[in-house]
Amino acid sequence: MGTAVITGASSGIGAVYADRLARRGYDLLIVGRNQGRLNDLAKRLGNDTASEIEALVADLRDPVDLIKVEKVLREDPRVTLLLNNAGVGAVKPLLDSDVADMTKMIALNIEAPVRLTYAVVPAFVARSSGTIINISSIVAIAPEILNGVYGGTKAFVLAFSQSLRHELAARGIRVQAVLPGATATNFWSRAGKPVEDLPPALVMPVDVMVDAALAGLDRGEFITIPSLPDEGQSASLEAARQALLLDLSHTEPASRYQMVRR
């Protein structure tokens, strides 16, 4: 199994992934900002499982802390799985949001997973094995739902994952993009809208969401949307995208754009 590195592991989705991966036999490096919660999680999982659990306190928006995690990913040969989970969200409309906060969101939601992935991929390629799980969101394909910058960051995560899969699948590396819908975590209160304000029928318990995402990983899925009842809809969307690729670049513009020559 090796070691799974989990960012944003001190609570919510990351903490549940830590529990599930430890029970699957992975040793863990759990990364987060809250030392107390990380230590409590490490102690609990150390008592409940046979896995070796290490906690690393790091704020991935801080360049110095980000470099610390990159160093582990580059140098520790035990790492076999990277879970890019750390992130923040926003629910306010774009024009009501503070641009400085949006910039910090971009740093955490985009820059951090890109840098951590770049750090670990060379070792995975050298061994022809490894797993990268990127936590995106349904707003990657439905950016109208929440704040536009947040949706943009998650669309980047999905597109980045698609590119990684294209480049790395033949090298024995698994890539999964997970697109959760509304999930019962403190994400919502931090974003400014308590989860209690959402329609209960739309909110999935966090442990149920993570178990579904891991079931998708076991099935070999690239994109996992835990809430989507009909996987054929996702397949149809991808088929339409692939068909579109064939006509995205030609020497002449489409006829509707060609001016009448005189």
> Which sequence positions are flagged as catalytic?
150
**Which of left, alpha, beta for 12 (phi over 0: left; psi -120 to 50: alpha)?**
left
Contact between residue 172 and residue 150 where contact means Cβ atoms under 8 Å apart: no
Tell how strand 223-224 and strand 173-178 pair up. Answer: parallel
Contact between residue 149 and residue 106 where contact means Cβ atoms under 8 Å apart: yes
Neighbours of 257 (CB within 10 A): 7
Instruction: Quote the tokens at residue 1.
Output: 């199994």
d(CA 201, CA 176): 26
Phi, psi torsion values for 254, nearest 5 degrees: -60, 155
